Amino acid sequence: MKRVLLVIVALLVVTGLVLTFAKRPEPLDPALESAKRLHDGPHTVAYYDVTLTDTTRPSQAHGNFEGSDSRELKTRIWYPSDLLREGRPAAKPLPLLIYSHGFMSMRTGGAYLAEHMVSKGYIVAAMDYPLTNYSAPDQPYVVDVVNQPGDVSFLLDHFTSWHRDQGNLFEGAVDETRIGAFGLSLGGMTTTMAAFHPRFRDPRIDAAVSIAGPSFPFTELFYSHRQLPYMMIASPIDALVDYRANALPTLLVPGAILVTIEDASHTGFADMAKMLRFMRNPDKLGCDQVKSNIDASSEDTWYHLIGTPEEGVAAIDAPPLCEMDPLPVGMNPVRQHWLNQLAVSSFFESHFAEDPAVRRGNRDFLLNTLPREIAEVRVDVNNN
């Protein structure tokens, strides 16, 4: 028995080493500015989980799920533990970011981004959306994306309340002039709606990033309802969210930035994709999972629920999913994480860093240095 246990332990150790070190991409040249910016900031990262319940809005019935009169939001909050301690007001308010996960994902889907931003002095929070997360009742229900901007506002309400709550961990910790939102895939769509939608938007959001998020129904009118810094990160070989229909229209938004990462897969943007770096293209798994759930979880004509033509939402169906055959070879997801991290962090720092010179430096890095140093990256800006 001892020998069997030793063999099992040895296999687990070997498996762990393989998953940690095997097939990792070549590190960036340390002389590059990009390599230096990949280093974490000076702050210690901590997190905790809390379940918040919105009793004012329901979780709608679908399939075999009978619905609920509330929305339960399992939430993870990452914070710099050297700056924030319970029972002691923060020395100064910090920028806050809300991350939104994709369809069939969860609140940890952007963990690598959250941890990096917290090391730079940010607070980051993410929720399991009640009906689109991986463990949603019956099965994930894509139509519920229309309710997710309200979840973002609900979470922001808590942070602004905690900011004023004596003895709370976040007492005095939230800078309400530096609130950002970002998300992947369906979470990118959630972020875009929370930023711009005439009815669903939250005016407290000061900057927004959609990572491979669907935007096909949004017209120029949709983005005209308010102005704020906005960036889309996308790839031409994305098998789930068509680049031409969803990413290129970003350049219709005044001041918007489009970061194109060649050879990046859609699935490769998620935190768990680091475990898929042995695959030729992680979108093979992503397509299999999403296609097996999304058809059964939606109705033929649900996009009208997002908005009306008068609000800037076109009455069109989504482009087809996963029609690339064969799938091209995708970038190593670990390298993809690095490039995504560089784009996201420099974008938010270009708007939220306290020092104007640091803000300018981050904007110059994002627009000029990053695409010059990294061959797979192209950056376009609508300067109109």
φ and ψ at residue 136, rounded to 5 degrees: -60, 150
Cα–Cα distance for residue pair 186/171, rounded to 1 Å: 32
Strands 174-184 and 207-211: parallel
Say whether pLDDT at 1 is over 90: no
How far from the centroid of its chain's Cα atoms is residue 131's Cα?
A: 17
Tens-place pLDDT, residues 322-377: 888 899 999 999 999 999 999 999 999 999 999 999 999 999 999 999 999 999 99
Say whether pLDDT at 17 is over 80: no
Q: Which range among 11-20, 51-60, 255-264, 369-378 shows the weakest confidence by mean pLDDT?
A: 11-20
**Greatest Cα-to-Cα distance within the chain, rounded to the nearest angstrom:** 72
pLDDT value of residue 357: 98
Beta bridge partners of 49: 76
Tens-place pLDDT, residues 33-71: 999 999 999 999 999 999 999 999 999 998 889 999 999
Phi-psi bin for 23: left (phi > 0), alpha (psi -120 to 50), beta?
left
Average pLDDT over residues 283-304: 74
Say whether pLDDT at 14 is over 80: no
pLDDT value of residue 7: 46
**Domain extent listing, the chain:** 41-334+373-381
Task: Identify the CA nearest to 98 among candidates 51, 53, 154.
Answer: 154
pLDDT value of residue 299: 56
Which is more confidently placed, 219 or 299?
Answer: 219
Which is more confidently placed, 55 or 291?
Answer: 55
pLDDT value of residue 356: 98
Say whether pLDDT at 3 is over 80: no
CATH class of 41-334+373-381: alpha beta
Beta bridge partners of 79: 46
Average pLDDT over residues 208-223: 96
Say whether pLDDT at 176 is over 70: yes
Which is more confidently placed, 229 or 9?
Answer: 229
Q: Which residue has the tokens 């939402």?
A: 313
Provide, rounded to the nearest whole percent, the portion of the chain with pLDDT above 70.
Answer: 92
pLDDT range class, residue 16, cuts 50, 70, 90: very low
Q: Tell me how far CA of residue 195 lies from CA of 102, 183, 311, in angstroms.
A: 17, 12, 14
Average pLDDT over residues 169-174: 97
Cα–Cα distance for residue pair 131/339, rounded to 1 Å: 30
pLDDT value of residue 19: 47
Average pLDDT over residues 93-106: 97
The alpha carbons of the chain give a radius of gyration, in whole angstroms, of 21
pLDDT value of residue 298: 57
Cα–Cα distance for residue pair 239/264, rounded to 1 Å: 10
Average pLDDT over residues 230-242: 97
Say whether pLDDT at 22 is over 80: no
Say whether pLDDT at 272 is over 70: yes
Tens-place pLDDT, residues 118-145: 999 999 999 999 999 999 998 899 999 9
Provide, rounded to the nearest whole percent, the portion of the chain with pLDDT above 90.
Answer: 83
Which is more confidently placed, 316 or 162?
Answer: 162
Task: Identify the CA nearest to 62 among candidates 233, 294, 310, 381.
Answer: 294
pLDDT range class, residue 300, cuts 50, 70, 90: low
Say whether pLDDT at 169 is over 90: yes
Average pLDDT over residues 166-190: 97
